[in-house]
Amino acid sequence: MQGLFITFEGGEGAGKSTQIARLSEYLRAHGEDVLVTREPGGTPGAEAARHVILSGAAESLGPAMEAILFAAARNDHVEQVIRPALQSGRTVLCDRYIDSSRVYQGVTGNLDPQLMHAIERTAINGLMPDLTIILDLPAEIGLQRANVRRGTDVADRFEKETVDLHAKRREAYLGIAKEEPKRCKVVAADRPIDAISAEIAAYVDEVRALRKTTPAAEVVK
């Protein structure tokens, strides 16, 4: 049976890495074979693209170029890692996926929605997440957390951006959740870690229970 594909979204410092670690522990304790991966990255080709994007080298080339770089990385990651893992029955937890592109490049990069849509379709080739957890946090708190964690290291190009921009992205994530309420669950991230992971585990259990009652033909991508 095809594994579950769960993606984590939200701004910097929202708690994605923390909650992915929690959920993978929870699922492994229930005997599931879990693969944790992240975007941009996850394969040697995609990690190379990640380096180009996050170092700022692609910034001067413009948002379309950047979006296409992300998509190239994503397609490699999907076909080399995510799809094969799901097909062999593993649960895949992915740190950022299509919604990050929609929000970061689509909304704040002012790209043509039709171009964004075409790029997304090419990148994922039908592989939509079964569940997307959107960790929702006021921008100021996320930036504070990212700063504390970073200590004296230099900020990457996304972390240097303003609180205003982060607030716009937050709204964009909430907009996606409104449009796709079945796939996307918004989880308030400004709470104790345990409370958040309990809520996420409940959503995952719900999807797993649904999956057990759905004929296999409907879940094969």
**Piece of 14-22, 84-92, 101-109, 175-183 that binds ligand ATP (CB under 6 A):** 14-22
Residue with Cβ nearer Mg ion (40 or 119): 40
Residue 41 contacts ligand ATP per CB under 6 A:
no
Residue 80 contacts ligand ATP per CB under 6 A:
no
**Residue from 9, 12, 99, 120 binding ligand ATP (CB under 6 A):** 12
Restricting to residues 1-30, name those near Mg ion by CB under 5 A.
16-17
| Residue 146-165 contact track with ligand ATP, rule CB under 6 A, x = bound | x--x----------------
Residue with Cβ nearer ligand ATP (18 or 24): 18
Q: How far apart are CA 156 and CA 121, in angstroms?
A: 28
CB of 113 to Mg ion, least distance (A): 28
Residue with Cβ nearer Mg ion (16 or 166): 16
Q: How far apart are CA 171 and CA 139, in angstroms?
A: 10
Contact between 149 and 126 under an 8 Å Cβ cutoff? The reply is no
Signed CA dihedral, 193, 101, 183, 211: sign only: negative
Q: What is the CA angle 171-176-181, rounded to 5?
A: 125
**Residue in the block written with tokens 């994605």:** 16
| Residue 109-138 contact track with Mg ion, rule CB under 5 A, x = bound | ------------------------------
Q: Which of 35, 11, 25, 13 is nearest to 197 (CA)?
A: 25
Given phi > 0 = left and psi -120 to 50 = alpha, else beta, which region is 131?
A: beta
Residue with Cβ nearer ligand ATP (17 or 80): 17
Q: How far apart are CA 149 and CA 153, in angstroms?
A: 9
Q: Which residues bind ligand ATP (CB under 6 A)?
A: 10, 12-18, 145-146, 149, 191-193, 196
Q: Which residues bind Mg ion (CB under 5 A)?
A: 16-17
